[in-house]
Structure 1
């Protein structure tokens, strides 16, 4: 996952990773980053790697705008594009995007279906009347654009993960989801959702983001990983990743530290959780720790920590992770 705030810096990482033979390159979406714009740029300069978004907020754009953008990126990528989507939190939808989200799992299921139908449509009238979405086009011509884009969807809670199994082509686990959650919680829920929808769960691709910090100084790498884990542990919406109130005191401390701008406090809270929710150390250490995900996920998306980390160190970590990912791919 390419995290640089400046897209010009990101493209230098993309070119280096593609030359090294890295399997796939992923953009993120945030208030200061457009995952789709960056994915288009990645696709234009990468010649071999799969390009994906991890993840694009489903409700930040209209379904029609999202489908059109995804088809454009797929055309630029020559079929190597994967659209990763997520519901985002209620607060982000309301405060950032001005969109109400009352029933997240059903809304995600319907929106994924609508986007898929829009991409597949070749020409003539198009109409979709759903419970949450409505699109009516007297004429919708798109014969020259790709008609398929694989869609992965993110989830944490049981209803959302089950919905992903029933509608998407694959699953994106949260950045701090531990292996036991992915294996013992997410995968059975995906299978249940697929069975309810009459789908073959074996055809679902399971991915997860993993906080990954590699460098010559293992202590600094651990610190950076702990900062990101501590930051991502704060939302109460991620309680499913902490069953029986696990790490409740640490999460509360991290929440307070984030609110007060105390980066050191976030690191301290993350220290207790980092070993089971991140990979860190030298590139060799990171590669060895990644093996615990073997047989649990199909694709491991290495997520360079950036909370409380200087941009120069983010960039250096990305270069080190190219070494890890290229070695794994080979």
Structure 2
């Protein structure tokens, strides 16, 4: 298997997350990723991972592009790259309109062009050395009479997430890499996302082969296969609820199960969500023993360059999340030729 295997570290407690990062780096895991949520800062956690590791790539999967001012995001990313000694990858995403409006107080009216422009602005902010800086775009404007950053990195790889046609095409036009959604099937990535990325790349005079293809994959490891399947199904069922992810279910695929999951979510019925997810879990997650997961990952091997194992947390006890992470370290380390 030539694709690289990374680990998304999901612990709510950042102290636990740092411990997992250190263990994964010692084991030889290829890459370590933080998430951003209302109770987690992807940038803070990525900085801590970078500080306690030596070899693994450190990335964010993903940082909301519009939750922070562009200058603040660029400054944080440059700091992390310096701490990481060049091992940092900034993964970004638009987030949903509701999250932008209700969580961040930001209007997101034209997501794809806003993402393209924001990525270009961040690149310019990071590349700048000294002297005045000015950017006047359709959505963003930044002006500084003095912007001195001679001692900081000038380049950071930027990967961007996408689900719908316009956003995936935008990623193909502007980003160094693509991040597939956590419950995108291998077939969806191959047959839907890659052609859209290629079309976007062509618009920008690029080749799709210039874009690193990654995806998060729900991954539940346990000696008890039934427990692993249930945890994976709950996460898949939960992520299947937003209508904004319809592109992951073309032609109305799993419409009944998705509606059942929405109804269960409205009742706060975790078991109901897991039950709905059971019908979708086979091709949208990997689960079982570490050996089972290695075998199931093969369906992604000709599609993605980096597979980012995403431990389920929805309805999962924190101790089981941590146990899963350590089993997934074995999977990722074995793929890298390391040892846990």
> Once the two structures are superposed, what CA deviation does each residue of 1:248-287 show, in whole Å capped at 9, x if it has no partner?
0000010111111100000000000000100000000001
Please tell me whether residue 86 in structure 1 is matched to residue 88 in structure 2: no
Equivalent runs, 1:262-301 vs 2, <5 Å: 262-301=269-308
Residue 152 (structure 2) pairs with residue 145 (structure 1): yes
Q: Deviation digits for residues 135-160 of structure 1, max 9, x if unmatched?
A: 00101000100000000000000000
Corresponding residue of 1:32: 39
Report SS of the residue matched to 1:275: coil
| 1:163 equivalent in alignment to 2:162 | no
Aligned length: 330
Q: Distance in 2 between matches of 1:146 and 1:225?
A: 39
Cα distance in 2 for partners of 1:69, 1:206 equals: 24
Output the TM-score relative to the length of structure 2. 0.97
The correspondence for 2:129, drawn from 122, 128, 146, is 122
RMSD, aligned α-carbons: 0.4
Structure 1: any 5+ residue segments left out of the alignment?
A: none
Report the Cα distance in structure 1 between the residues aligned to 2:63 and 2:262, rounded to whole angstroms.
Answer: 25
Q: Is 1:259 the equivalent of 2:302?
A: no
SS of the aligned residue for 1:22 comes to coil
* 2:116 is aligned with 1:109: yes
Q: Distance in 2 between matches of 1:16 and 1:255?
A: 37
Matched residue SS, 2:59: strand
- Does residue 304 (structure 1) correspond to residue 306 (structure 2)? The answer is no
- Divergent runs of 4+, >3 A: none
- Structure 1 Cα separation of the partners of residues 150 and 262 of structure 2: 50
Whole-angstrom CA distance in 1 between matches of 2:67 and 2:124: 19
TM-score (norm 1): 1.00
Q: Which of 19, 22, 30 pairs up with 2:26? A: 19
Give me the whole-angstrom Cα distance separating, in 1, the residues matched to 2:266 and 2:171. Answer: 32
Matches within 5 A, 1:25-104: 25-104=32-111
Structure 2, gaps ≥5 residues long: 1-7
Deviations 1:222-245 (A, max 9, x none): 000000000000000000000011
Provide Cα deviations, 1:170-202, integer angstroms capped at 9, x if missing partner: 100000000111001111111110110112221
- State the Cα deviation string for residues 113-151 of structure 1 (Å, max 9, x = none): 000110000010000000000000101000100000000
Instruction: Measure, in 1, the Cα distance between the counterparts of 2:328 and 2:251.
Output: 34
SS of alignment partner, residue 283 of structure 2: helix
**Does the residue aligned with 1:186 lie in a helix, a strand or coil?**
helix
**1:70-98 CA deviation, whole Å, 9 max, x = no partner?**
00000000000000000000000000000
**Structure 2: how far apart are the matches of 1:201 and 1:266?**
37
Superposed, 1:207-226 pairs within 5 Å as: 207-226=214-233
Equivalent residue number for residue 3 of structure 2: none
| 193-202 or 60-69: bigger deviation | 193-202
Partner SS, residue 215 of structure 2: strand
Report deviation, 1:329. Answer: 1.1
1:203 deviates by 1.3
2:181 paired with 1:174? yes
